[in-house]
Amino acid sequence: MNADPRAQEPGRLADLAALGDVDPPPNLVARVMTRVSSEPRLPSLWQWLLRPFVIEVRISPLVLIGMALALGAAFVYVGATLR
């Protein structure tokens, strides 16, 4: 038994069902279709795994000198502790 009296009215469901028969504007359809066709496809997993990658490390000369001094100090420390 339906408790809503408005659902019993004749034609109410037909009116609501007619709202679904609305065509979208043609310019909207054209815009969406051109966007879909112009977007690049997602690569497959295999293509994604095989893509090249670049690792770029930028070191200034001062950092390079500091790293060399620290490495030298580490070698001296290890050499002194092994005796």
List the structure tokens of 24: 């979208």
- pLDDT by 10-residue block (mean), the chain, 83 residues: 60 76 76 73 89 91 96 93 81
pTM equals 0.35
51 conformational bin, left if phi > 0, alpha if psi -120 to 50, beta if neither: beta
Domain ranges of the chain: 58-83
Coil/strand/helix, residue 34: helix
